[in-house]
Each structure stands twice: as C-alpha cells, then as structure tokens.
Amino acid sequence: MRTISQILLEDYSIRLRPGAKGECPQCHGHNFSIKHGDQLGKCFSPQCGYTLTAARDHEHAHASLPRVLDSVYEACHHALLDLASRPTSAQNAYRYLTEERGIHPQVVNDALLGVVPAGFDVRTHFQPVLADAEADVARLKREQRGRPTKQYETAAKRLTDLQETQQRLHECLAHKAAWLIFFYTDAHHRLVALRLRQPYTKKFVSFKPGSAGVFGRELFTPYVTPDKQPLNGFLLVVEGEFNVLQLQALMVRYEEATGETLGYLNACAVGGVLGADLDTLTRVAQHPVIVYDHDTNQAGFELVRRLQQVMPVEACTTPLPCGEKSDLDSYIRDFGQDHMAAWEGSNAHKRELTALSPCSTPSSCRLLLSVRACTGSMGQPGSHRGFLMPPTPSTTAEKAAQTGEARLETGLRPPALHLLPQRLQPQPAHQPTAHHDARG
C-alpha cells in the first residue's frame, strides 16, 4: 500500500513530507497537510476540504479506468499488428499507417496505437475491474455500523462512475470496427483517453472521461551522455498525431541510412488546438517548444497562445503556409523516399525561435520575439529553410497588433538547442516536391 507522500509524488508530482503543509492535488492551494504516519492527508482550505487516504488509494488501484484502458490497448494493439501479416490487398488501418501515411513499421509497433477489432466488446475488459469495485462496496457495506461511512459512499460512487464510463466507451466504439485508435496518457504515462480515426478519411471520435492527456510521449529515448542530458527537458509539442509519428519515423529512417543509433525524440501531440490538455503539458514539459501548423487562417497558432497563458514557451512552424498541407507530417512526406534530404530539410538551418512569456490575462499577453540566430542550435547551416522556422510578421506580430492582445519585445531566454541531433555535414539543399496530398 502506498503512503500519502508517495501518492502525491507519483500521481501529482507534489513533494510533501508528513507533518508539512503544501499544495493540494484537488484545489492546488497550499493548505494540504499530511498527518504523521503518512496514511492520511487533508486540505484545510474552507473552499476545498479534500481528503486523501492510503486505504482509498489501495481500493482505487483495483478499480481504476487506466487498468481498463491498459487491457483495451493490449487487445487493440495486437489486432493492429496482426493486420501486417494478412495476405490481402484490402485497405486496413495498418496499411493506412505504413503505406498511405508513410509511418515506419517500427514506430507503429512502438507507439500506443491500435485498431478496433470486428465484434469488439469493451464490456469484457471492464468486467474484472467492476468485479473488484463491487467487492469493495459489498465489504464496506458489511463493515459499516449505522449511517453509511465516507469510505462506503466513495466506493459506491466509484462503482457507479465505472458503470457509466463503461456504457460511454461501449457507445463510443460501437460500429467503429477497423477504426484506428490513438491512446493518450497523463503525466505519469497512465492511459486516460482515446482518439479514434476512420482510416482514409477525416472522421474523428474522442473518448475523454477525464483529462485529455497527450499522445506519443512514451516513445522518448532520453539522452544518457552528461553533455546532452539537459536537453531531455525540452519537449516538442505538435498538434496532430501524425505529426509526431512522422517525426519519429524520420528518426528511425535516418538511423537505417547512417547506422547511427539516435533513438526517439522527446515529442508529443495534443490532438487538437482547442482540446489540448494544458495541465498535463505543464507537468511534463520543463521547456516546451511548440511546432504549430502553419495554417493560413492562423488556427495553429492558437495552441501557442493557450499554452502561453500558463508557462513560457518557444514556438516555430513549417515554412509553407498551405492550409491543410502546412503541418510537419506533410512537410516531411513531401521529400518522398529521400530520407536523408528530409533530415537535412528538418535540420538544415540555424534556427530563430519565438519565445513567449506566460501572462495572466489575454489583454496582458506579450509576444516576445527572439530575433537572434541560435548559435550552434538545432542543425547545420544551409540554404534550405528547415521546418523549425520563426513565424512571419503576418502570422504573429501583425496579428497581435490587430487584436490588441500583445506587444513586441525582444529576447526572453535562449532558444532550445539540439532538439534534432546534429550529425550531418552541410550538403546541397534539397527542396521538397511542390505537390501535396491533403491527407491531414
């Protein structure tokens, strides 16, 4: 059984010892205290009063949604990989990933991806968890004397919540056989949400019973050498799932072409601008660098604006403002099979990043533009414009001036260094092909 201090650290990234007072995991005020013995914690804020017990956490571990989603992932991920060996020319989710979208099979194998199997019934995955929750309720009911105890009420509510969640997920997956599933995780890599996409279309469905989480962060291969370990704190944040999958596929293909072992980048996707889980991002990213879509309608930059409200960020975008064809996935795919050129295109130039400070209200937002070149930054100098480019004045400064929500100022903190490992010597620049496939 975990202690309260362990629960706070492992589940909420809050360091607090017994007898001390600190941040409350519920209201985030600083009136939460742990009783000596480390088995009980309580927030003494009159507006909160949240109580956390080690016994309740132990019961919750047996009756939790992440446990269900872990089981769902195992079944759906195996179903996706099984499609690779089927001798059929029919379209399916695996062929969509590897052929239509060009994702490397190793990335498909390593990522939290799945497919809804035919006849899939999610209720079988809830059954063990619901059985444990029902057993907890029955035990507490037998033990109670007189009025229902707080523990009993909590266990009963948890059972009801699980039953309602089961029905919601059952309805979400109904008639979705062969759909692709992206599994999202929280700050502690627990599965918390799903996003479904029908292959070869732009039809999406989301299941977010609580926090939205982020996608793809589990692929990160941390640097181990002392000189590069500080770079582990930088996190590339993109909008769509295929942006992060394509970037990691490029890492694998570069390894295959050069024989060098680089591993995966520290990157994740938020799944959409408006639904981005800012709370999770603030917990997992010491230095977020947003690679936003270079949309002509400025929709991609909204992710930068939202995260800017809560923490300092750095931002960059692709060089081509082509509406739906302006994201990182499209940029890399435009190089076709020339993976070395794609690497050079993504790692070609000394970068200038847009550094953005946090602000408390939209009216006080400041856009702080870093106008200096990043010495020894993300790649080798070259004539081709890489994807990590600063936004043009029309996409930031002019828009900010028009809305009256920001003012320009230079400098804030150094741009992120070496987010893409520096390996190649400068080569003749290669432009991506002019055509695009609007696949999104």
Q: How far apart are CA 259 and CA 77, in angstroms?
A: 28
335 or 352, higher pLDDT: 335
Q: Count CB-CB contacts under 10 A for residue 412.
A: 18
Residues with Cβ within 8 Å of residue 184, at least 6 apart in sequence: 112, 191, 192, 193, 194, 195, 212, 213, 214, 215, 271
Q: How far apart are CA 50 and CA 32, in angstroms?
A: 8
* Structure tokens given for 298: 């400025």
Q: Per the domain annotation, does 423 fall within a domain?
A: no
Mean pLDDT (the chain, rounded)? 75
The answer on 76 and 41 residing in a single domain is no
What does pTM read for this prediction? 0.72
The confidence score (pLDDT) of residue 403 equals 35
Q: Per the domain annotation, does 278 fall within a domain?
A: yes
Per-residue pLDDT of 394-413, as tens digits, reads 343 333 333 333 222 222 22
DSSP string, 378-405: SS---SS--S-BPPPGGGTHHHHHHHTS
Q: Which residue has the tokens 């990691």?
A: 248
The answer on 119 and 33 residing in a single domain is no
The confidence score (pLDDT) of residue 86 equals 80
Q: Per the domain annotation, does 353 fall within a domain?
A: yes
Residue ending a domain, among 155, 174, 207, is: 207
Confidence of residue 278 (pLDDT cuts 50, 70, 90): very high
The answer on 196 and 90 residing in a single domain is yes
Q: Per the domain annotation, does 97 fall within a domain?
A: yes
Q: How far apart are CA 161 and CA 306, in angstroms?
A: 30
Q: How far apart are CA 65 and CA 161, in angstroms?
A: 10
Q: Which residues pair with 214 in a beta bridge?
A: 185
Q: How far apart are CA 146 and CA 320, in angstroms?
A: 69
Q: Per the domain annotation, does 422 fall within a domain?
A: no
Q: Per the domain annotation, does 436 fall within a domain?
A: no
Confidence of residue 418 (pLDDT cuts 50, 70, 90): very low
Question: Has residue 54 got a pLDDT over 80?
Answer: no
The answer on 118 and 33 residing in a single domain is no
The confidence score (pLDDT) of residue 1 equals 62
The answer on 235 and 197 residing in a single domain is no
* Structure tokens given for 227: 């000189």
The answer on 317 and 175 residing in a single domain is no
Sheet holding 408-410, edge to edge: 267-269, 234-238, 287-292, 313-317, 354-356, 367-369, 408-410
* High-pLDDT (> 90) share of the chain, %: 32
The answer on 355 and 317 residing in a single domain is yes
Domain of residue 99, residue span: 63-207
Buried b (16+ CB within 10 A) or exposed e, 366-389: bbbbbeeebeebbbbebebebbbb
Residue ending a domain, among 172, 207, 242, is: 207
Q: Per the domain annotation, does 434 fall within a domain?
A: no
> Looking at the 3D structure of the chain, how many domains does it have?
3
Check which CATH number belongs to the domain holding 199 and give it: 3.90.980.10
Give whole-number Cα distances, 47 to 26, 131, 268, in Å.
11, 35, 35
Q: Which of 7-11, 157-161, 197-201, 360-364 has the lowest mean pLDDT?
A: 360-364
The answer on 353 and 342 residing in a single domain is yes
Phi, psi dihedrals of residue 118, rounded to the nearest 5°: -65, 135
The confidence score (pLDDT) of residue 55 equals 59
Q: Outline where DSSP puts E strands in 186-233.
A: 191-197, 204-207
The answer on 76 and 29 residing in a single domain is no
The average pLDDT across 173-191 equals 93
The answer on 110 and 40 residing in a single domain is no
Q: Per the domain annotation, does 432 fall within a domain?
A: no
The confidence score (pLDDT) of residue 64 equals 81
The answer on 98 and 232 residing in a single domain is no
The answer on 159 and 13 residing in a single domain is no
